[in-house]
Chains A and B, each alone.
Chain A
Amino acid sequence: MFKSTNLDMFTFPFTNFKNKTYRYSNDLVALGEDNVNFMKITPEYKVQIKHKREKLDKQPDVRYQSFPHTMEMQWEFVELLIDLAVDKYPEHFSIEKNGDQWTFSNHILEETETFIFGDESSISLEPYDMIGRHFHHDFMLMVNRDDNFYLEVAQESFAALFSPNWNLGMSFNEIHGPVPFVSRDGVELADRIRKFLLTIEPGAPRTRVNWNLMADRWDVNYETMDIWGPERHKVTKENAGKLVHLRVEEQWFIRMPRSNAILFVLDTQFLPLEDLVKRPEWLEITHFNLADIPDYMAEYKGMAPFLPQSVEYLKNLIDTIKVK
């Protein structure tokens, strides 16, 4: 299991987790200029890519889904990712275009992808799957039809409770059916968020952060519920620091100019609770938030069986620091 080692690159704390305790809300915010480009190479890059490709190779039906009519959008996605990567990390990624003949180079992994842009027969994987395997994010393509968004392509290896196979073809509202979207003021949220997404324009992506706790596991999906469900009960207030990980999913919502689809990008980062001592302020904030999670949210997030132990562990940790 990997964890974030460069805490300056760990997305924490975030809007909605800082001033008040956490509740569901439309917490989408505009991005600062330096953060519009989601590309981020951390010390964990190689481990993440290895993990991602293993998942995709061993469980193709679980990790990647698409409709056959999405090829044009898939190429738009290829171009977008290459542009962002080369723009932010010219030392790591480069592209050579000879008419439609493109060669993309990943210098970190010392790999090249050569293909004819727009021609699926020039590569063995689907274009979206091929280019997505060079980046450690999860990518979901939501197509805008009749004021809603439908999941038409998904490549997922890290996000919690996300199943490309199950969610394929679902609308924004159907996908969020399981989420107990109760806001502080009790307003039904799914439609409000959907309407907000409709206003996102090309060039002005939005961001939000989702978070969860994991018990000794990073892969938490419906497909493996029979395994991780029972394992959650082994957490105690003594071992929570090592077993329980704070999981932070930084998300981007990008309007694709040609297809008008919304690309949903996730960057999942992990930190064991014990590492929070390295940033005492984060430790305080995390404890403050976790101590006030309503039951319905703890149940939905799957952390109900080990939340009390985790809160107690953090409380003790704070006390130890104070004594010193």
Chain B
Amino acid sequence: MYNSPVLYDQSETIKEELTFNDKRRKHLIIYDQKAVSDIKQVLAKDSQEELEYEHFEIEKSVNLQDLRTLLYSQKIGTHLYIASDWDHAVTVFTEAVEAGFTEDEIQTIIYGPKRRYIYCMKCYNTSEINYDDEVQCTHCDAHMEVGPFFSKVRKGYIGYPFIPN
């Protein structure tokens, strides 16, 4: 659906470190190789006997078939934790939303840089950007000021065009 949540660098689901939401019955943790040692530590330290935990380790790349089976088999009350690099997190997040998870039920912990995109109001293409206030479109070279507003449909921040003097 066009108004479904998407993962972007300001997503409310992104947290600094994994903290279990103790209001949920079950915790599903999906992590990749970058997060593996952290996750094992947290589980050893914080897991409680009366709660249910399930994990899914991403080895090299995501096996979509397995991921979907796992996500669709979850019952209401499951909280999802994604701990991985950006690209893996986007894949898992998108599949989870597709499977019916809401943002309230997802926590994301990103290892490494988050990706950001700008939507050029001159040519309607997106370009990847860093944290500069002003950037240039990689498609049409327009100079743009990076606005604070994000479109889920365009998957980028608004780029206000200007002519440099």
Contact = CB atoms under 8 A, between A and B. Distances in A.
A225 B121 contact: yes
A145, A166, A171, A222, most chain B CB atoms within 10 A = A166
A13 interface: no
Given A169-B2, A174-B151, A226-B163, 15 more contacts: A61-B124, A150-B3, A166-B151, A168-B2, A169-B151, A171-B3, A174-B149, A177-B148, A222-B121, A222-B160, A222-B161, A223-B121, A223-B161, A225-B162, A230-B163
B141 to A, nearest CB: 12
B118 interface: no
Interface of A: 61, 67, 145, 150, 163, 165-166, 168-171, 174, 177-178, 222-226, 229-230
B154 interface: yes
A219 to B, nearest CB: 14
Interface residues of B, number: 20
Contact of A170 (B121, B147, B153, B161): B153
A145 B3 CA distance: 10
6 contacts: A67-B2, A150-B3, A168-B2, A174-B149, A224-B161, A225-B162
A169 B121 contact: no
B158 interface: yes
B161 A225 contact: yes
A61 B124 CA distance: 9
A165 B124 contact: yes
A67 B153 CA distance: 11
Interface of B: 2-3, 119, 121-122, 124, 142-143, 147-149, 151-154, 158, 160-163
Nearest to B163: A226
A220 to B, nearest CB: 13
B163 A169 contact: no
B122 A223 contact: yes
B119 A166 contact: yes
Contacts of A170: 151-153
B3 A225 contact: no
A226 B143 CA distance: 9
Contacts of A166: 119, 121, 151, 154, 158
A166 B124 CA distance: 9
Which residue, of A61, A169, A229, has the highest number of chain B Cβ atoms within 10 A? A169
Contact of B158 (A145, A168, A222): A222
Contact of A177 (B121, B124, B149, B163): B149
B161 A226 contact: yes
B3 A169 contact: yes
Contacts of A226: 122, 142-143, 161-163
Contacts of A67: 2
Contacts of B163: 226, 230
Contacts of B149: 174, 177-178
A229 B143 CA distance: 14
A113 to B, nearest CB: 29
Contacts of A230: 163
